[in-house]
């Protein structure tokens, strides 16, 4: 067999190299965007109404803030994408699921290829660490968060989110910061955040919360979360007695107290819940008189006497506590 030597071999290697280069050109930087090195694709303030689809696999940070986006649609998973900024757009609904109109689309999972199924979606950002969607028009949490289990920071402030469901965040076991300030949240389920063992910052300030269940206080305190609650519409009535009592007990032990400033009734407006006494937290009947209301602690196996009044007749009943 003849072996090439010298200039001939160099020429062959050069042609092979040129052929490989021409057959697999590198994708160009999307129009209106700036590719500041491989990790960052900066499309901020570019007047975009659609998300660029030709995003290189080497991109780890995607900045689409300050554009004209009303939705975000991507047609394949980006395995290296870590940080995504979508702030200051007009997004009303955000889905982290890849487009469903791709037919029989298969994506490589942790162990095998898996297709679209009825159990959920395939995320276009499965290794996401930070998602910022501040200053938009979201009315609910982003869809498909369960597909980004590595998420650590979720910024959703200055939107129109009004409700949260207990299972919406349960898959985000690595979540450290959750920013929901300046939304329209009116109530929270007691178990909403109990699975977020890594959570360190929870900002719920400037929403429309009126009360808080003491079980939520206990779960967040046990995790060690920095909870921010200012600017809500706290109703300091008898329903807040258990929370105040729990907070006062922790404060007496030297633990940091939450700041819950009353918005109503007017006589208590502007006062901190922790500085109020039991007698300050009243509920009023239709005749504007304080109702007979008292919180008691009972234990399993004990009996309590319930007293009810119906049309002037008093009925007493003994109930077992199980």
What's the average model confidence in pLDDT over 243-252? 95
Q: What are phi and psi of 72, to 5 degrees?
A: -130, 120
Asked if 196 and 173 count as a contact pair (C-beta separation under 8 A), the reply is yes
**Spatial CB neighbours of 25, under 8 Å, sequence gap ≥ 6:** none
Q: How confident is the model at residue 195 (pLDDT cuts 50, 70, 90)?
A: very high
Q: Please give the torsion angle defined by the CA atoms of residues 237, 239, 245 and 246, in that order, rounded to the nearest 10 degrees.
A: -140
Classify the phi-psi angles of 34: left when phi > 0, otherwise alpha if psi is within -120 to 50, otherwise beta.
beta
- Give the closest residue to 74 by CA, choosing from 93, 52, 106: 52
Per-position b or e across 143-154, b if 16+ CB within 10 A of its CB: ebbbbbeebbbb
Asked if 172 and 147 count as a contact pair (C-beta separation under 8 A), the reply is no
Q: How far is 181 from 254, CA to CA, in rounded Å?
A: 27
Check residue 294 and give its pLDDT. Answer: 47
Measured from the Cβ of residue 170, the count of other Cβ atoms closer than 10 Å reads 16
What's the average model confidence in pLDDT over 247-272? 94
Q: Average pLDDT of the chain?
A: 82
Q: How far is 284 from 296, CA to CA, in rounded Å?
A: 19
- Domains belonging to the chain, first-starting first, are 29-295 (3.80.10.10)
Check residue 120 and give its pLDDT. Answer: 65
pLDDT tens profile 153-170: 999 999 999 999 989 999
pLDDT tens profile 273-298: 999 999 999 996 544 455 444 444 44
What's the average model confidence in pLDDT over 67-79? 95
Asked if 169 and 146 count as a contact pair (C-beta separation under 8 A), the reply is no
Asked if 78 and 57 count as a contact pair (C-beta separation under 8 A), the reply is yes
Strands (E), 18-95: 34-36, 40-42, 61-63, 83-85
Percent of the chain with pLDDT over 70: 72
Q: How far is 293 from 311, CA to CA, in rounded Å?
A: 19
Report the residue count for the chain. Answer: 322
Q: How confident is the model at residue 53 (pLDDT cuts 50, 70, 90)?
A: confident
Asked if 199 and 219 count as a contact pair (C-beta separation under 8 A), the reply is no
pLDDT tens profile 80-120: 999 999 999 999 999 999 976 544 444 444 333 333 443 56
């Amino acid at each position: 067999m003849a072996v090439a030597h010298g200039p001939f071999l160099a020429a062959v290697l050069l042609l092979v190299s040129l052929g490989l280069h021409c057959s697999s050109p590198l994708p160009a930087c999307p129009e209106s965007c700036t590719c500041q090195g491989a990790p960052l694709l900066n499309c901020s303030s570019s007047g975009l109404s659609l998300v660029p689809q030709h995003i290189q696999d080497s991109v780890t940070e995607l900045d689409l803030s300050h554009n004209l986006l009303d939705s975000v649609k991507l047609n394949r998973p980006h395995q290296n994408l870590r940080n995504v900024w979508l702030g200051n757009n007009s997004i009303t609904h955000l889905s982290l699921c890849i487009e469903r109109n791709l037919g029989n689309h298969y994506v490589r999972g942790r162990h095998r290829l898996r297709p679209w199924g009825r159990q959920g979606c395939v995320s276009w950002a499965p290794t996401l660490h930070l998602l910022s969607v501040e200053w938009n028009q979201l009315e609910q949490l982003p869809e498909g968060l369960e597909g980004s289990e590595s998420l650590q920071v979720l910024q959703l402030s200055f939107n129109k989110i009004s409700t949260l469901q207990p299972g919406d965040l349960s898959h985000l076991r690595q979540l450290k910061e959750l920013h929901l300030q300046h939304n329209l949240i009116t109530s929270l389920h007691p178990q909403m955040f109990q699975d977020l063992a890594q959570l360190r910052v929870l900002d719920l300030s400037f929403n429309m919360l009126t009360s808080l269940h003491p079980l939520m206080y206990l779960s967040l305190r046990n995790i060690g979360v920095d909870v921010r609650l200012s600017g809500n519409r706290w109703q300091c009535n008898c329903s807040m007695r258990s929370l105040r009592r729990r907070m006062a007990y922790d404060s007496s032990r030297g633990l940091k107290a939450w700041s819950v400033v009353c918005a109503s009734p007017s006589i208590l407006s502007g006062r901190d819940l922790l500085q109020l006494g039991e007698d300050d937290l009243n509920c009023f009947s239709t005749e504007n008189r304080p109702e007979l209301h008292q919180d008691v602690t009972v234990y399993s196996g004990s009996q309590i006497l319930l007293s009810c009044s119906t049309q002037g007749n008093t009925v007493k009943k003994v109930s077992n506590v199980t």
